[in-house]
Structures are given as structure tokens and as C-alpha cells.
Amino acid sequence: MRKVWYNIIIHIYCTISKYYTFKRCSLATYTEDIQMDFSRLDVGFLHTVYIILIISLIPIIIFTFWAQWRVSSAFNRFSQIMSRRGITGAQLADAIIQRKNLNTALKMLPPHSNPLENYFDPRDNSIALSQLVFSSPSITALGVSAHEVGHAIQHADKYLPSRVRSALVPVVNLVTRISMPIVMIGFLLLLFAIITPQFALVFMVAGMAMYGASTIFMLATLPVEFNASRRAMAMLSESGALDHEELRGARTVLNAAAMTYVASFLVSLTYFLIFFVRVLIILAATRR
């Protein structure tokens, strides 16, 4: 198994180094070159980058809290404003489902569920709405309901970003639980010299790749969510469920929700870069 991992690393290294065959790029060549490459890394520069990334977390975390506050504020504000037509979120969703000939089930979540917990489940092609959204004629309820129907339409249309995100779900659910332990194992094995640096590198790179998968998942989520919101606004306008002024309120709610996905992606990306630079620092230090 160890030889297999070595060969994988060699293959990646040789590809990057533009070697043409494995005959010209052996384990010995790889070991010699990578020791030289890491020894040339400027640890001081890496520490500077590391500190900058750590500091950048402060505004990103502030932005995350602001996004959460904004979506809660918009949700609560427009939950108090009822639409003039008086149709509920469930009625709107059902009407659109019928008009679009979707084979999508509509269900209401238990009363104690979080009002913000509304989702489309592609596994059984169903839309789950909180009680507040399901039974309310508020602007928030109609905007959120239309957004979830937008996801159902994406599923029916085989919208590519949605399919990519759905395919990543089982992978991300697994790797998010084991990526950081694997990275930490690699750190500890390297720091205590339990195994060779090359083999410790396998653990760290594998853990980083797994964590990177969750970052890619969050990136793939962005076009899916923004597209669902655009579809929702179009459906609300075409159906006449909301007038021009009410549409502005629905757009405020959906835009606020979209910002939470942007914030999550920025946090994930920053942590990934922090861990990546930290790996480089440790590897560079071991080559001194």
C-alpha cells in the first residue's frame, strides 16, 4: 500500500515537472528533487502569508455574522408583511408544480422546525417547507417557496451545476468527517519523525484534498442557489403572486439568503489556504 501511495505522488510530481515517462522520473529522482524544492521555500515569506490569511479570517467571520443577521432580519421583517393576493407558500408551490408538470411532492416540516429550514430533496424529488412558509401568505413565504420550486425545476431540467452538487453530497459528507484527522495525523507523524517525510506528506496531501472537496462543493452551490433565486423571481412575476413592490421584498429575502452561501464558501476557502500554507511551512522546516 505504501508503494502505491509513493507511485501516486511520483506521478503527480512527474506530471508537474513535465517528465515524459516514469523511466526518467524514479522514486530516487522524486525524493532528491522534492528535498531540494522544499529547502528552497522561503519560510519567512510563508509565515507572512500564513499570518495574512489568519488576519483575513476576521473580516470574513464578521461578514459571515452579518450575512446571518441579514437573512434573519429580512426573513422576520417580510414574514410580517402579507401579500395582497393572500395565497400561501404551499398554494404557490403547488400551483407552479402543476403548471410546470413536475412530479414533485410537497410536505410541511414539523411545527418545532426552524423557520429557515426549507429545502428541496433530489433523492425523493420533494420540497419540505417550514410551517411558517407552508401556511403563510407573507412575502417571505412566497419568496422562499418559489425558490425551493426553482430547485425542483433545476432537477427536472437536469441543470448541470445542480447535478454536480448532488453528486458531491455523499463524497463531502464522508470527507468532511475524516479530512482534518488525516491532516493532523500527517502533522504528528512528521513532527515526531515516526515515518519518513514522504509518507507523512501522503497523509497531509490526502487530508487537504478531502477538505478541498468540501470547498469545491460550496463553490458548486453558489450558481445553484443564485439560479434558483432567479427562477423564483421570474415565477413570482409571471404568476402575478406578488406585485412590483412586493417583488422587491422577496428579492431582498432571497439575496440575503444567497449571501450566507457566499460567506460559507469564503470561510471554507480561507481555512483551506491556511492549512495548505501550514503544510508548506512544516515541510520547508523539515528540509532545513
pTM of the model: 0.77
The partner residues of 105 in beta bridges, in order of sequence, read 126
All three cell numbers of 170, joined, read 455523499
Q: What pLDDT was estimated at residue 110? A: 85
- Listed as own residue / partner, the contacts of 264-268 with beta carbons closer than 8 Å and 24 or more positions apart are 264/64, 264/218, 265/215, 265/218, 265/219, 265/221, 265/222, 266/60, 266/63, 266/64, 267/57, 267/60, 267/61, 267/64, 268/214, 268/215, 268/218
C-alpha span between 73 and 75 (Å, rounded): 5
Q: Which pLDDT does position 22 carry in this prediction? A: 42
Q: What is the pLDDT of residue 157?
A: 92
148 is catalytic: yes
Q: Is 149 exposed, middle or buried (0-12, 13-18, 19+ CB in 10 A)?
A: buried
Q: What is the pLDDT of residue 60?
A: 95
Delimit the domains of the chain by residue range: 1-40, 41-286
Is-contact 50 277, C-beta < 8 A? yes
Query: For residue 19, what pLDDT is reported?
Result: 38
Query: Residue 13 corresponds to which amino acid?
Result: Y
What pLDDT tens digit does each residue of the chain (288 aa) get?
444 444 544 454 454 444 334 444 544 444 444 444 545 556 778 888 889 999 999 999 999 999 999 999 999 999 999 999 989 999 999 999 999 998 888 888 887 778 888 999 998 899 999 988 999 999 999 999 999 999 999 999 999 999 989 888 888 877 777 776 776 776 676 666 555 556 666 777 777 777 888 899 999 999 999 999 999 999 999 888 899 899 999 999 999 999 999 999 999 999 889 888 877 777 666 555
pLDDT of residue 58: 94
Decide if 256 contacts 74 (C-beta within 8 A): yes
**Given 32, 117, 148, 238, which residue is catalytic?**
148
CA angle 257, 261, 267 (to 5 degrees): 135
